[in-house]
Amino acid sequence: MSTGTGRRFPDGFLWGSATASYQIEGAVKEGGRGPSSWDTFSHTPGKTLNGDTGDIAVDHYHRWQEDLGHIADLGLRAYRFSTAWPRVQPGGRGPANREGLDFYSRLVDGLLERGVKPVLTLYHWDLPQDLEDAGGWTARDTAYRFADYAELMARELGDRVDLWTTLNEPWCSAYLGYGSGVHAPGRADGAAALAAVHHLNLAHGLGLQAVRSVLPSARASVTLNLHVIRPADPSSDDDRDAARRVDALANRAFTGPMLSGTYPDDLLADTAHVTDWAFVRAGDAEIAHQPLDVLGVNYYSTGLVRRWDGVGPRSEDDGHGDAAGTPWVGADDVEFVRPDGPYTAMGWNIDPGGLTDLLLRMHREHPGLPMMITENGAAFADTVSPGGAVHDPLRVDYLARHLEATGQAIDQGADVRGYFAWSLLDNFEWSFGYDRRFGLIRVDYETLERTWKDSAHWYRDVVARNGLD
């Protein structure tokens, strides 16, 4: 097992861990919270493993002080969390719910009292159900409602928040929510998924404008789960073209407007048989293109694709589950090939080199834009030893290798300012329910007791020494 290389990180490197509201809070009917699309989806039979829901999750809504204690004991310099839109605006529009605002205000104060920087994500997938009923992200109006919500949050929390992040992984919101249907709201409609892509880009831009209308010097970011997609046969033109097409859908559909103010021509051409993109109005891509202080990068694994020859069943398994539809809208002749292992319990391949490649690519294509790894981590089948300890050497190894890969990108010039381990706690892993555990801290789902895994002890030492041993 490798635990490190003696590597040190730059001074001021921001060490943290991340969570998301629906995955940890529970208390879905308390404090004036309204229903979200994930409440509806998870309560729909057959949508999540074992029918699991976020009703209780890990009860962070009631145990937040205990959880802040763990954050402090880990020595984390920053905590990345998301605010639940339906806790703040139960129907997704209109005046704020004071109890919801108070919850996040107390959380932020609690972090600051412990010397931990709050890194806030405004949207990590829990859309107010009323907005979903009105079309969700396929409706342009949702982007404007998001901006209202962003402004409410900025007014409430002000400069107590160190970094404002608009969206987490809009790829998942759009393509898994409306394309494949494995995430809420569970629709399988390629044209709807592309409309969602655009309205999420627009929401990002409008949201940042709204935050900065209140807080002109707010530090701002967006978090993307950028995909590292490789051709199965690098010498094949067809396979390289398959990788280009998937890259356009997965990455450039977001980095184009958000970082360059334009949609890539090849994306529009590749998907012209699915939609005419008439939902993009003049000036929209420029709105999406707001100045950013940092780009949040979420990274877990890599993908391998090739041109499907039309013979035999086409594999679309990109590791995000099987469903009625596909997230790879319009890429009907592209096939996913299972990459070499080893794999995590998600079935995702472990490929730290992909992280180095990704950070260097972003550095090359968007020079001058600092990055932070806002999520990286692994689910494994943890077991509790008779004495109560959780020995998770595979997770330690995964984290160590990816930190080393980050260091290698920094050595080659990438401007990476921080790293957030996913996740602080075991939690509700979306359609996989409570079956997949990503936490540094184990949660017993019967008692809700928290227990540090070996990886938590290890990560505390990494943070303390600002590097690997």
Task: Give whichever of 20 and 101 is closer to ligand IFM, judged by the CB atom.
Answer: 20
Q: Does 298 bind ligand IFM (CB under 6 A)?
A: yes
Task: Give whichever of 57 and 409 is closer to ligand IFM, judged by the CB atom.
Answer: 57
In angstroms, give the least distance from the CB of 11 to ligand IFM.
29
User: From the list 24, 33, 429, 439, which residue makes contact with ligand IFM (rule: CB under 6 A)?
Assistant: 429
From residue 3 to residue 32, the character string flagging contacts with ligand IFM as x (rule: CB under 6 A) and all else as - is -----------------x--x---------
| Residue 132: active-site member | no
Task: Give whichever of 23 and 48 is closer to ligand IFM, judged by the CB atom.
Answer: 23
In angstroms, give the least distance from the CB of 432 to ligand IFM.
8
In angstroms, give the least distance from the CB of 375 to ligand IFM.
5
Task: Give whichever of 129 and 173 is closer to ligand IFM, judged by the CB atom.
Answer: 173
Q: Does 348 bind ligand IFM (CB under 6 A)?
A: no
In angstroms, give the least distance from the CB of 105 to ligand IFM.
23
Q: Which of 132, 151, 316, 375 is catalytic?
A: 375
Task: Give whichever of 126 and 284 is closer to ligand IFM, judged by the CB atom.
Answer: 126
In angstroms, the CA 389 to CA 446 distance is 17
Q: Which of 169, 316, 335, 429 is catalytic?
A: 169
In angstroms, give the least distance from the CB of 360 to ligand IFM.
22
In angstroms, give the least distance from the CB of 173 to ligand IFM.
10
Q: Does 422 bind ligand IFM (CB under 6 A)?
A: yes
| Residue 375: active-site member | yes
Total binding residues toward ligand IFM, as defined by CB under 6 A: 8
Task: Give whichever of 316 and 426 is closer to ligand IFM, judged by the CB atom.
Answer: 426
Q: 315: alpha, beta or left, given left = phi > 0 and alpha = psi -120 to 50? A: beta
Q: Does 241 bind ligand IFM (CB under 6 A)?
A: no
Q: Does 375 bind ligand IFM (CB under 6 A)?
A: yes
User: From the list 25, 52, 169, 316, which residue makes contact with ligand IFM (rule: CB under 6 A)?
Assistant: 169
Of 232, 243, 229, the C-alpha closest to 337 is 232
**Residues binding ligand IFM (CB under 6 A):** 20, 23, 169, 298, 375, 422, 429, 438
Q: Which residues form the catalytic set?
A: 169, 375
